[in-house]
Amino acid sequence: MSNPNYTQMWENLNLDLSAHDGLLEVLGKFYGDIYLSQQGRLKGMEYLDFVLSEVHGLRIKELQDAKAQGRKVIGTFCVFVPEELTLAADAVHVGLCAGADAGTEQAEQLVPRNTCALIKSFIGFKMARLCPYTESCDLVVGETTCDGKKKAYEAFSEHVPMHVMEVPHTKSQSARELFKAEVLRYKEQLEKLTGTTITPQRLAEGIRIVNEKRRALQRLSALRASDPAPISGRDALLINQVSFYDDPVRFTQSVNTLCDQMEERIKAGEGITPAGTPRLMLSGCPMAVPNWKLPYIMESSGAVIVGEESCIGTRNTRDLVNESADSMDAMLDAIVDRYMKIDCACFTPNDERTGNVTSMAKELKADGIVHYALMFCQPYAHEAFKIDKASREAGIPMLAIETDYSMEDVEQLKTRVEAFVEMVRS
């Protein structure tokens, strides 16, 4: 993945070149073992393989070209930041992935050791100068979701230009009003940064583009209800991961092409695994690139993953913004309504998530649920109990996993997952 054509660009971004080369080497090897080793992948996955092979190359070059034309790059960590507004300001919206152990020692100088791996990862990537996305950002947007993130942003904002959105923790009327005020504040911040006025026409276009992307991902998700499963969970996760940093229009087209291929496969009665393969659904914390450890373990234990109830999955794609509004205020209301449906574990109470998990598992004909919480993630670890109870009541077995990005627990995880797959199979 390291490419001498990009060395100058990485140097200009002030990356630590030798550490960055090391990261790309590990990532390339990891990708080869986990992704390219799969048999019977859909032809359309070649596009995703290409995008990933150029994740620090061509896509970063595109960001630099956009910046040279005067466009701004906005980095985010959470699906609460409305991409519709970013696009309406003619800026580029990228998710900052945070899915690998990197710069942990430096990160632990800014946040406590007992902080989830995702938070340590985004701080570590910055402090170790490893992430060309973070370095390309004109603004990074944080949010007051969990305690770990909101406190980490205090330290992080000393190193990157930040805007922090206040995300409420309840779904009351006053919480909705607060969030609407925050959406307005984000709009103003974008207008100030980009010099572009967000008109109703621009916002309508932003809403349309993001809805189209979500519709394509919804289509992909629905096709996974077929048995045999037309696509592996690893590939579907990768598609969701790439949705956060690829150009949205190009990405939507390639997902729809892939869905056409999935439909052909389903019509032919074919799949990525034989019919009757134990079907598992993942639920819980988001899995950012290159956090593929657990999906790989699950699919190499004789199961196929048929859905991800996660922000890098259906929590980000389930709801669309109503496109019928035509005034600015009505469009902002439509955005607020859509975003306030997100069932993140940071909300209390968050009862809709339990219903969403069980109905999704039934729609996808999942035989079991693997609940995944990152170590030290209080919100999702707490909700594992509620999801366990709800899935037992729905007659679907659940396995609760807490892990991080290290490889130390791989053998232990394998043993637990294999036993769960055997139990589900019988």
Helix, strand, coil shares of the chain, percent, nearest 5, are 55, 10, 35
Specify the residue, 223 or 281, whose C-beta has the smaller distance to ligand BJ8. 281
By CB under 6 A, tell whether 128 contacts ligand BJ8: no
User: 120 to each of 83, 94, 100, 104, 151, how far by Cα in Å?
Assistant: 24, 19, 9, 6, 12
Peptide bond into 290 cis (omega under 30): yes
Torsion-angle region of 94 (φ positive above 0: left; ψ -120 to 50: alpha; else: beta): beta
Specify the residue, 128 or 311, whose C-beta has the smaller distance to ligand BJ8. 311
By CB under 6 A, tell whether 120 contacts ligand BJ8: no
State which of positions 66-85 bind ligand BJ8 (CB under 6 A): 78-80
User: Of the candidates 44, 57, 132, 148, which one interacts with ligand BJ8 according to CB under 6 A?
Assistant: 148
* Tokens coding 15: 């990356």
Specify the residue, 15 or 242, whose C-beta has the smaller distance to ligand BJ8. 242
Instruction: Quickly list H helices, 102-143.
Output: 104-107, 117-127, 132-136
Binding mask of the shown chain, residues 337 to 376, with x at each position contacting ligand BJ8 by CB under 6 A? -----x-x-x---------------------------x--
By CB under 6 A, tell whether 123 contacts ligand BJ8: no
Other Cβ atoms closer than 10 A to 219: 17
Q: Are 416 and 368 in contact (CB under 8 A)?
A: no
By CB under 6 A, tell whether 100 contacts ligand BJ8: no
Return contacts of 175-181, CB within 8 angstroms, 24+ apart: 175/340, 176/336, 176/340, 179/336, 179/339, 179/340, 180/332, 180/333, 180/336
Specify the residue, 139 or 342, whose C-beta has the smaller distance to ligand BJ8. 342
By CB under 6 A, tell whether 183 contacts ligand BJ8: no
Q: Write down the least CB distance from residue 143 to ligand BJ8, Å.
A: 7
8-state DSSP, 5 = G
Binding mask of the shown chain, residues 1 to 40, with x at each position contacting ligand BJ8 by CB under 6 A? ----------------------------------------
Q: Write down the least CB distance from residue 137 to ligand BJ8, Å.
A: 17
* Tokens coding 175: 């919480």
By CB under 6 A, tell whether 387 contacts ligand BJ8: no
Neighbouring-strand partners of residue 279: 304
* CB burial string 81-112: b at 16+ within 10 A, e below: bbbbbbbbbbbbbbbbbbbbebbbebbbebbe
How far from chain centre, in Å, is Cα 354?
20
Task: For residue 395, count CB atoms less than 10 angstroms from its CB and return exposed for 0-12, middle for 13-18, buried for 19 or more.
Answer: exposed
Which are the contacts of 177, defined by CB distance < 8 A and separation ≥ 6? none
Q: Write down the least CB distance from residue 373 to ligand BJ8, Å.
A: 7
State which of positions 191-230 bind ligand BJ8 (CB under 6 A): none
By CB under 6 A, tell whether 379 contacts ligand BJ8: yes
User: Of the candidates 289, 377, 387, 413, which one interacts with ligand BJ8 according to CB under 6 A?
Assistant: 377
User: Of the candidates 47, 380, 405, 420, which one interacts with ligand BJ8 according to CB under 6 A?
Assistant: 380
Specify the residue, 198 or 238, whose C-beta has the smaller distance to ligand BJ8. 238
Specify the residue, 304 or 311, whose C-beta has the smaller distance to ligand BJ8. 311
By CB under 6 A, tell whether 282 contacts ligand BJ8: no
Residues binding ligand BJ8 (CB under 6 A) = 78-80, 116, 118-119, 145-146, 148-149, 285-286, 311, 342, 344, 346, 374, 377, 379-380
